[in-house]
């Protein structure tokens, strides 16, 4: 992974290949290969013969020392440079007894997963990808609405960082201006009746990249694009963990109900005409009334109110006319 090299590069001055190879104890050829690899992963690096390498723009690399600021709240942040998927790795660790409130954050995911078998991709340094292990006191059967509550936590954290116009889309996308900013993938472990363990995976587009952001079937937007400035990804993660802590503690005690009003205020299609597409079933058209206390979407159709359960459907704004 080229992070060790990237951490030595600056956006303001050139660093010679010689200096980098000495600092890292690597051959010049290895430094060259790592720079090439970083470019392949989406980092723009200028190289000038006789001067060396310079980053095209500053990056905030994830820093274990800074992320340790989450430990007073009981989080145990595990920083990995490269993983297949933070969710997959943390699920495996959860099965081996990994602690409650472990957070696995990766600079790079080679096989990031989205919902419904899609993949989740971010360029190196341009996304924030992490998973949080939460051991609930309630059973799996009482986790209904969890992804919506997580959406509220993310919206709170992003708004606290001055991001305007953050909305939620049922069941678990974060949008700005109708474009996808972040996605949530929750995977659970345990049987139906004993206390549930969830791995809550969150992927956020932080910096816009010309190549695909997030999942390819949505128009995407990035945090820095909305903010109009650069944002330290360590600061973003710490802010989100603080909000997730509050929300998950409340959720464990009371479920989704305390978040329902706030969620509906953030709901991008609240009281608007929608079309719900189920797999294999006919589309349902109606007005999105919001969600009930379990987070189940309520749609007023010509045949009465229909309850739409999480995970079964996708939702699109109804075409005009
Ligand atoms: C979606 O919108 O489809 C959900 C995307 C979730 C992506 C995150 S990135 C961190 C965690 N690890 C994964 O492999 N996926 C989730």
Q: Provide the residue-wise pLDDT of the chain in tens; the chain has 321 residues.
A: 788 999 999 999 999 999 999 999 999 999 999 999 999 999 999 999 999 999 999 999 999 999 999 998 999 999 999 999 999 999 999 999 999 999 999 999 999 999 888 999 988 999 999 999 999 999 999 999 999 999 999 999 999 999 999 999 999 899 999 999 999 999 998 777 789 999 999 999 999 876 554 445 568 999 999 999 999 999 999 999 999 999 999 999 999 999 999 999 999 999 999 888 876 678 888 999 999 999 999 999 999 999 998 544 556 655 554
Instruction: Answer whether 122 contacts ligand 1 (Cβ < 6 A).
Output: no
pLDDT of 321 reads 46
**DSSP secondary structure of 278-295:** ESSS--EEEEEEEE-TT-
Cα 131 to ligand 1 centre (Å)? 8
Residue of 15, 101, 113, 115 marked catalytic: 115
Burial code (b: 16+ CB inside 10 Å, e: under 16) for 182-215 equals bbbbbbbbbeeeeebbbbbbbbbbbbebeeebbb
- Mutate which of 116, 118, 179, 203 to test ligand 1's pocket (most atoms within 8 Å of Cβ)? 203
Q: Is 180 a catalytic residue?
A: yes
Cα–Cα distances (Å) from 64 to 68, 129, 138, 154, in that order, read: 6, 15, 32, 22
CATH 1.10.10.10 residue ranges of the chain are 3-55
Cα 211 to ligand 1 centre (Å)? 18
- Which class in CATH covers the domain with range 64-265? alpha beta
- Between 3.40.50.1100, 2.30.30.100, 2.60.40.1930, 3.40.50.300, what CATH number should domain 269-317 receive? 2.30.30.100
Instruction: Answer whether 112 contacts ligand 1 (Cβ < 6 A).
Output: yes
Q: Is 239 a catalytic residue?
A: no
CATH 2.30.30.100 residue ranges of the chain are 269-317
pLDDT of 312 reads 47
Instruction: Answer whether 169 contacts ligand 1 (Cβ < 6 A).
Output: no
Instruction: Answer whether 118 contacts ligand 1 (Cβ < 6 A).
Output: yes
Closest CA to 87 of 173, 199, 214, 248: 199
- Mutate which of 108, 110, 116, 183 to test ligand 1's pocket (most atoms within 8 Å of Cβ)? 183
User: Distance between CA 94 and CA 156 in Å, rounded?
Assistant: 27
Residue 76 CB-half CA count within 13 A: 8
Q: What residues contact 199, with CB distance under 8 A and at least 6 apart?
A: 87, 90, 91, 94, 131, 132, 133, 186, 187, 188, 189
To the nearest 10°, report the CA torsion of 250, 255, 260, 261. Answer: -40
CATH 3.30.930.10 residue ranges of the chain are 64-265
Cα(first)–Cα(last) distance of the chain, in Å? 51
pLDDT of 210 reads 62
User: Distance between CA 75 and CA 69 in Å, rounded?
Assistant: 9
pLDDT of 165 reads 97
Residue 288, phi-psi category: left (phi > 0), alpha (psi -120 to 50), beta (remainder): beta
Query: Which residue, judged by its Cα, is nearest atom 9 of ligand 1?
Result: 203
Instruction: Answer whether 86 contacts ligand 1 (Cβ < 6 A).
Output: yes
Angle in degrees, 0-180, between the axes of helices 28-40 and 17-24, rounded to the nearest 10: 100
| pTM reported for the whole predicted model | 0.93
pLDDT of 257 reads 98
Closest CA to 204 of 277, 308, 120, 116: 120
Residue of 180, 207, 209, 233 marked catalytic: 180
Q: Is 115 a catalytic residue?
A: yes
Ligand 1 atom, smallest distance to 114 CA: 3
Instruction: Answer whether 87 contacts ligand 1 (Cβ < 6 A).
Output: yes
Is the bond leading into 59 cis (omega within 30 degrees of zero)? no
User: Distance between CA 35 and CA 59 in Å, rounded?
Assistant: 15
Ligand 1 atom, smallest distance to 113 CA: 14
- Between 3.40.50.300, 3.30.1330.10, 3.90.1150.10, 1.10.10.10, what CATH number should domain 3-55 receive? 1.10.10.10
- Mutate which of 180, 185, 213, 220 to test ligand 1's pocket (most atoms within 8 Å of Cβ)? 185
Cα 114 to ligand 1 centre (Å)? 5
């Amino acid at each position: 992974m080229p992070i060790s090299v990237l951490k030595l590069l600056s956006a303001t001055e050139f660093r010679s290949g010689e200096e980098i190879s000495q600092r890292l104890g690597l051959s010049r050829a290895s430094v060259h290969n790592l720079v090439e690899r970083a470019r392949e992963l989406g980092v723009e690096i200028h190289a000038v013969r006789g001067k060396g390498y310079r980053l095209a723009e500053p990056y905030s690399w994830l820093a274990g020392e800074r992320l340790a600021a989450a430990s007073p709240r009981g989080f145990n942040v595990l920083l990995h440079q490269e993983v297949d998927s933070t969710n997959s790795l943390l699920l495996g660790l959860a099965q081996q007894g990994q602690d409650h409130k472990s957070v696995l954050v990766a600079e790079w995911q080679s096989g990031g997963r989205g919902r419904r078998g899609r993949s989740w991709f971010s360029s190196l340094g341009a996304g924030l990808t992490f998973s949080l292990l939460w051991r609930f006191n309630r059973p799996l059967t009482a986790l209904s609405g969890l992804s919506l509550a997580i959406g509220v936590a993310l919206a709170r954290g992003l708004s606290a960082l001055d991001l305007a116009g953050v909305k939620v889309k049922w069941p678990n996308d974060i949008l700005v201006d109708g474009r996808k900013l972040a996605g949530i993938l929750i995977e659970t472990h345990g049987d139906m009746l004993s206390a549930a363990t969830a791995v809550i995976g969150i992927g956020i587009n932080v910096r816009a990249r010309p190549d695909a952001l997030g999942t390819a079937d949505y128009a995407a937007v990035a945090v820095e694009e909305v903010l109009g400035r650069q944002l330290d990804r360590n600061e973003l993660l710490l802010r989100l963990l603080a909000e997730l802590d509050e929300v998950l503690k409340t959720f464990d005690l009371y479920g989704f109900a305390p978040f329902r009003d706030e969620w509906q205020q953030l709901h991008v299609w609240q009281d608007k005409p929608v079309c719900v597409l189920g797999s294999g079933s006919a589309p349902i058209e109606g007005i999105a009334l919001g969600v009930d206390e379990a987070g189940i979407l309520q749609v007023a159709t010509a045949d009465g109110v229909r309850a739409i359960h999480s995970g079964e459907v996708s939702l699109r704004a109804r075409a005009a006319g």
